[in-house]
Amino acid sequence: MTNPASGFDCELRLNRREQSFLGDRRVELLEQIATTGSISQAARSIGMSYKAAWDAVDVMNNLSDQPLVTRAAGGLNGGGSEVTRYGRGLILAYRFLQKEYEQLLERVSSQLGNVDELHQLMRILGMKTSARNQLKGTVTRVEKGAVNGNVILDLGDGLEIFANITNEAIEELQLAPGKEAVALIKSSFVILSPDRDVRVSARNRLPGTVLKVIAGAVNSEIKIALAGGRVLTAVITNDSLEEFGFAPGSECCALIKASHVILSVLD
């Protein structure tokens, strides 16, 4: 939105664990889902692509303590979607904070000598990560080695993530049992197996069910439903898709090397 008093575009953005959580665009999407009961219809109504809308919902649900959007029974194309009571409360809270934010900008802008410099600074501070998968949890163990160490993150619902990072990073992030952190995983680092009991060297093994398959010219994107309503995204080749026959409803296991997990903390 544009604030006439300050003369520049501004947006209230709420982060969780240093990851972008709620902004005007996502709140608009939630409002339309609440109205239409459909993610696809909500996306069309605000000019957002179907894929971007699903990705946004997955990120918000993964970072939230409680789901903001639930999919009703009936399958991906049958049951529709609903904004939870918790989600509706966040919408109201965001809109209230947005009004307060605009009033603050009006007061601050009257004392600024260079609005363009402030705008540039706000854009830098609002940079996002390129990692598609963002899973929050709590550190349960830290095992230091000579150079690197293993950090074990409890995601809840019986899920754990192992991250292999340098001892220097462990100390800098002050990682210790009880510390909250977010595991960042690129979708291209997620290996999929149709066998949940497959024996491989990858430390992380997350069992799940295929939610959706988005085929591309060379690669395909696979959405995997994990325990607790979390969604993991993997990108695999079309040859692998054909060989393993992944389809909505298929059981699978997401395999991720510990060295491919990046950890982020709030402070």
Calculate mean pLDDT across residues 205-227: 93
Kindly state the greatest CA–CA separation across the chain.
63
β-pairing, 219-225 vs 231-237, is antiparallel
Tens digits of per-residue pLDDT, 140-159? Answer: 999 999 889 999 999 998 99
Write phi, then psi, for 181 (nearest 5 degrees). -150, 165
- The pLDDT, as a whole number, for residue 202 is 86
Predicted local confidence at residue 26, as pLDDT: 87
| 44 pLDDT more than 70 | yes
For the chain, what are the domain ranges? 2-125, 133-264
Measured CA to CA, the distance from residue 1 to residue 10 in angstroms comes to: 6
CATH topology of domain 2-125: Arc Repressor Mutant, subunit A (1.10.10)
Residue 4 has pLDDT above 50, yes or no: no
DSSP label at residue 9 = E
Using an 8 Å Cβ cutoff, are 157 and 199 in contact? no
86-103: average pLDDT:
79
Task: List the one residue out of 218, 210, 211, 263 whose CA is nearest residue 236.
Answer: 218
Q: What is the pLDDT of residue 265?
A: 81
- The mean pLDDT of 151-171, rounded to a whole number, is 93
Q: Are 21 and 63 in contact (CB under 8 A)?
A: yes
Q: For the chain, what is the mean pLDDT?
A: 81
Answer for the pair 159, 179: CB distance below 8 angstroms, yes or no.
no
Q: Which residue is it, tokens 């894929």?
A: 51
- Assess if CATH 2.40.50.100 describes domain 133-264: yes
Radius of gyration of the chain (CA): 20
- Of the listed ranges 62-71, 98-107, 183-192, the least confidently predicted one is 98-107
| Cα dist from 247 to 63, 81, 242, 252, whole Å | 26, 21, 10, 10
Give alpha helix (H) positions in the chain: 24-36, 39-45, 50-63, 85-109, 115-125, 167-172, 238-244
